[in-house]
Structure 1
Amino acid sequence: MRVRRRLAAVTGLTAMAATAGLLLGASPASAGPNCASGNHCVFYLGINDSARQSYFDTDSNFTNDTFNELTSRAGGGVNVNDNTVSASNSSTGGYESHYYRDAGTSWSTFLFCVNPGSYVDYLPSSQQNLASALRLRGTTTISCY
C-alpha cells in the first residue's frame, strides 16, 4: 500500500513539474494597443480615435482593403492603401510589422516597422499616408517603433 501511495505521489509531482515547465517556457503574447492578439493593425488616424484594419499575415497589396473595423470613427470604409497614419503590433509569434510604400512583392521601398507589443500613434508626417503593403518578419536588426 505504501509503495502505491509513494508512486502516486511521485507521479503527481512529476506531472505538476512538467506542466509548470511548459507554462514557464511559453512566450507571452505581445499586445499593442487597440489591436487584437495575433494581429498587426493600421489606423486611419490615431490608434484610439479612428477606424482600423487588422492583418494576421503578410499583405502585399492594400488596394483592395478598407478600414473595416471601428467604422463609426473617422476613416471607416476608406481604402487602406496610402491612408495609414498609425500602427500597432499584437504579434503572438514575435513578428515585426514591416510596412512598404509600393504594393507588390518587391519589398524595395521600406517605410517603417513596428516591434511586437509596440505601436506608433501618428507617424511622423514624412511616413504618413504612404503604406501600401505589410510584410511580417522575424526579429531583424532594423530599428523599429
Structure 2
Amino acid sequence: MALARTRKRLAAVVGLAVTMAAGGAVLASPASAGPNCASGYHCVFYLGFDSAKHSYFNSDTNFSGDTFNQGSGLSGYGQSVNDNVVSASNSSNSNYESHYYVNSNYGTFLFCVNPGSSVEYLPSSKQNLASSLRLRGRTTISCY
C-alpha cells in the first residue's frame, strides 16, 4: 500500500514537472523577431536594415499607395514601396511566413521570409520587384 502511494506521488510530481517545463518553455520563448521589425510585423526596407522601412501587420494586395514611412531622414524615406524593396524582415508572432510577389494581387511569387528571419540585400535578381505581400501559415516553400 505504501509502495502504491509512493508511485502515485512520484507520478504526480513527474506530471507536474513536465507540465511546468512545457509551460515554462512556452512562456520563455519570445515571439519570432526579425531585425529592425516590431513584434507581429512584416517589414520591408528601401535598402539595408539601416534605411527607411514600411511595416505590415496584414497582407497587402498592392504596394502602390504605400511609402517607406518609418525612419525619417534615412535613405528611401517617403519613396514608394512598390518595386523598391531590397531587404525584408519577419517578426511574426503568429508563425506566418511573409510571401512577396511581383505585380499586385499576388502575381508571380518572388521570395518569402520565415518568422524570425530576414534577408538584408536580396539577390539583385529579386530586388526592386515586390508589389504585394501575402501572409501565409507555414509552408514547404524554401524561405529566407
TM-score between both structures, scaled by the size of structure 1: 0.81
**Matched residues, number:** 128
Question: For structure 2, which runs of at least 5 residues remain unmatched after alignment?
Answer: 1-15
Partner of 1:124: 123
1:76 and 1:92 map into 2 onto residues whose CA distance is 26
1:19 deviates by 7.4
Runs of 4+ in 1 over 6 A off after TM superposition: 16-20
* CA distance in 1 between partners of 2:120 and 2:26 (Å): 32
The CA distance in 2 between the partners of 1:20 and 1:131, in whole Å, is 42
| Deviation at residue 24 of structure 1 after TM alignment | 3.2
**2:37 corresponds to 1:38:** no
> What's the counterpart of residue 135 of structure 1?
134
Give the residue type in structure 2 aligned to 1:114: V
Identity of aligned residues (%): 66
1:13 corresponding residue in structure 2: none
In structure 1, the gaps of 5 or more residues are: 1-15
2: distance between equivalents of 1:108 and 1:121?
23
Structure 1 residues 19-30: aligned runs within 5 Å = 22-26=23-27, 28-30=30-32
1:23 deviates by 4.2
CA root-mean-square deviation: 1.8
**CA–CA distance in 2 between the matches of 1:140 and 1:122?**
23
- CA shift for structure 1 position 108: 3.7
SS at 2:88 equivalent: strand
Name the SS of the counterpart of 2:130 in structure 1. coil
Separation (CA, whole Å) in 2 of partners of 1:58 and 1:114: 14
Name the SS for the 1:142 alignment partner: coil
Displacement, 1:20?
Answer: 6.8
